[in-house]
Structure 1
């Protein structure tokens, strides 16, 4: 009689169970565990008054399918509770294309973010593919808009300048224009959704760029790295990266794209502490 032995059947069953558990973990568990990760960012030209300045960085929320309003509300509460000096958001707040419904739901929640020195935001490619005009309307209404402009935070006579780029795929970057109102010698920090923006042509000296977009790859295999990175420069996955022009920090973000899975790549609220390097 043809067939498989009981031992083989049990082994195949065990493999199937293990695969099912692994799949469930990546979809149902790790994808929903948002870590608070703290990073120290040394900037050579950071004004002394801003040594220890903290920034909570949110990105790629992808509100919509499998990311609920209750989930986002809790995320906002957790971020506020961290009491950072500043909160920055670098885009992809919604998930679905060609709809204003998600935009109109997410922005009233984002407007509940608050920090001692404010909240600055720019848009991502999903915000444009959902509806550019509606996303820009809410960005401006929120009071968080940094797109194509810069704002200076002051402590005494010293200041730290934040600027916002347009989205690389759905907008004009306009990085130089964004910092047109800054002064020579300013320490400048740029919000740009897509980290490939760093490799675009611009002339303004920038000390740090804050980005998202990659989700850290979502699935990161040991000894191999991220399986998929939606960027031209495959060095740009997550964390702090030195580039020829500037330092680049990429957050792993919150939500998902393409597939609703995460493995070895937990979602994160990134808390950045800006510091002056030790004197040599």
Structure 2
């Protein structure tokens, strides 16, 4: 297929930067915690090396404290004859408190997670699979956890939170957004998800006619579920067809006070 003729083909320059403010920190701080959330790059499926260069530059220009990638970094790892060549570029995506990633369903279904894990480690991207870390933001501890994929693997909230100290600000990376109804029971402050691509193709007044499994209830943007905030990223890449309609790719910056 000649991709150049496709209508509404997504281009790297179509990306929008959205900003949100959340009041979650337990202590006063001179400056907010800056968190970048991106998702669903689908490297190997119509998402090129040049796309990655462009988007990483935009992310770094925002000077985040934390970068969160909520799954589906890879789609077809064999598309790159040597995907390890991506490591020097991925290493340029930096944040003082770290870059963190949890698997999505596409990462899992290609059955190459050991190789992906090695690439992430060499790129200084910390993989969170049913585990979590305590981060120190200006002497305030923050728990950041991540689940394994729910659809094609074994995401486990109990295991992910087993070492969480009591009463600590908690952020979770969970690829599938509709799992939020379960996550909310665990005193989580904010869940970062992707998976739905915001529908990828949307129509005015109608929304997204096609939604994936576990991405049908919460599709795009911010939601309040009990005491928890859920953010569903429209993603940076595409799946199935390399097109978007009324749903541009997005980099999201959270200023957390």
TM-score with structure 1 setting the length:
0.80
Correspondent of 1:65 among 17, 37, 45: 45
| Residues 201-226 of structure 1: per-residue CA shift (max 9 Å, x gap) | 78531111001111100111111111
**What do residues 42-92 of structure 1 show as CA deviations (whole Å, max 9, x unaligned)?**
33x644338621111111011123211111122112111110111111111
2:255 pairs with one of 267, 273, 278: 273
Q: How does 1:104-253 map to 2 (within 5 A)?
A: 104-130=84-110, 131-143=112-124, 144-155=126-137, 157-200=139-182, 204-232=186-214, 234-244=216-226, 246-253=228-235
- Secondary structure of the 2:170 match is strand
What does residue 5 of structure 1 align with? none
Question: Contact (CA 8 Å) 1:63, 1:106: kept in 2 or not?
Answer: no
User: Alignment length, in residue pairs?
Assistant: 251
- Which whole-Å CA distance do the structure 1 matches of 2:81 and 2:180 have between them? 32
Q: Structure 1 residue 34: deviation in Å?
A: 0.9
CA distance in 1, matches of 2:60, 2:78: 31
Residues of 2 paired with 1:100 and 1:245: CA distance?
43
1:263 Cα deviation (Å)?
0.9
Give 1:69-84 correspondences, 5 Å limit. 69-84=49-64
Give the stretch that moved more between structures: 76-85 or 227-236: 227-236
Which protein shows a greater Rg?
1
As a proportion of its length, which structure holds more helix?
1
Q: Secondary structure at the match of 2:8?
A: helix
Q: Which residue of 2 aligns with 1:20?
A: none
2:44 and 2:77 in contact (8 A); partners too: no
TM-score normalised per structure 2 = 0.87
Unaligned stretches of 5+ residues in structure 2: none
- RMSD of equivalent CA atoms: 2.5
- For 2:38 and 2:106, how far apart are their aligned partners in 1? 15
